[in-house]
Every structure is written in C-alpha cells, then in structure tokens.
C-alpha cells in the first residue's frame, strides 16, 4: 500500500521527470508475506478503493518513465511490480521467479498478460508453471530486461 501511495503522490509532483524503482538489501521485491496472504479477490477488483492501494495500477498511471532497477530477487508479486515498469535494468545478481502456482495463488496484477508479451508464451508458461528461476543474463536474452549491469 505504501508503494501505491508513493506513486499517487509522484503523479502530482511536476518536478519529477523519471522514477527509478529499486529494492533494498537482497531483493527488488520478494512478493507478499505468505503468513498473511493478500485477498486475491480484493486485489483483482476494479473498485476505486482497491485501485488506490494497488501499486501496479498506480505505477501504470505515472506520467513519467518508470525504470525498474532489479538487484537480487524479484519474485511473484515483486515480478508483477517489475512488469509494471516501463523497462527493467538488472544487476548480474538478479533472479526472477513466478511462484504463484507453488503457493496456490493467482497473479492479479497483469503478470499472465505482460510476461508472455515480453518473453513469449512458452517461456512465460515455463516460468509460471515450474516456479523456476531466470537469472539476469537469461532475462536479457529473453527480453525481460533491457540491460544487465555489474552488481555490488
């Protein structure tokens, strides 16, 4: 919810020319807390209240380029947030995974449409059905990221 609020605020700031979205520590974003999983119905709804707290929706409304800088793990909901960015740059330490199926969750923020458009239907199915990881070099080869840079 905090990320959604930040992007709603950024939309109003006329001095912002671009946004670089990154994570802290070992992950870009590891997704939801599985000890208290989110309500999939609420996340998938188009009600005004739900959209205000939906980070992917708020990123999509951003009037300036949003660049995802992925260093470390980018997993499930984090991958959905990354896919909302206009383009992705990854460190050589980046790892992308869709683990929705592993935990019986449904992607609610567009992953099932966006991922196949970027990397192809077969590769997207493989990522989603196996919950396997895709490292930065492979992500670039597939078109998920536009550039891979040396990590710290």
pLDDT tens profile 4-61: 999 999 988 999 999 999 998 888 887 655 555 556 555 556 656 667 778 889 999 9
Q: Are 57 and 102 in contact (CB under 8 A)?
A: no
- pLDDT > 90 fraction of the chain, expressed in percent and rounded: 60
Whole-model pTM: value is 0.87
pLDDT tens profile 71-80: 999 998 899 9
83 — pLDDT class (breaks 50, 70, 90): very high
Distance CA(53)–CA(15), nearest Å, equals 23
Q: Residue 30: its pLDDT value, please?
A: 75
Rounded to the nearest 5 degrees, what angle is found at the Cα of 142, between the Cα atoms of 136 and 145? 50
Distance CA(58)–CA(34), nearest Å, equals 23
């Amino acid at each position: 919810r905090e990320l959604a609020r930040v992007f709603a605020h950024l939309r109003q700031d006329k001095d912002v020319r671009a946004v670089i979205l990154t994570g802290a520590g070992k992950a870009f974003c590891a997704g939801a807390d599985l000890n208290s999983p989110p309500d999939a119905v609420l996340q998938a709804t188009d009600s005004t209240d739900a959209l205000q707290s939906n980070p992917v929706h708020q990123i999509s409304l951003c009037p300036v380029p949003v660049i995802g800088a992925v260093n470390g793990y980018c997993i499930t909901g984090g991958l959905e947030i990354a896919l909302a960015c206009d383009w992705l740059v990854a460190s050589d330490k980046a790892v992308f995974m869709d683990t929705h199926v592993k935990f019986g969750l449904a992607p609610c923020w567009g992953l099932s449409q966006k991922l196949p458009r970027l990397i192809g239907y077969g590769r997207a199915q493989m990522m989603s059905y196996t919950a396997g990881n895709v490292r930065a070099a492979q992500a670039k080869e597939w078109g998920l990221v536009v550039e891979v840079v040396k990590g710290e």
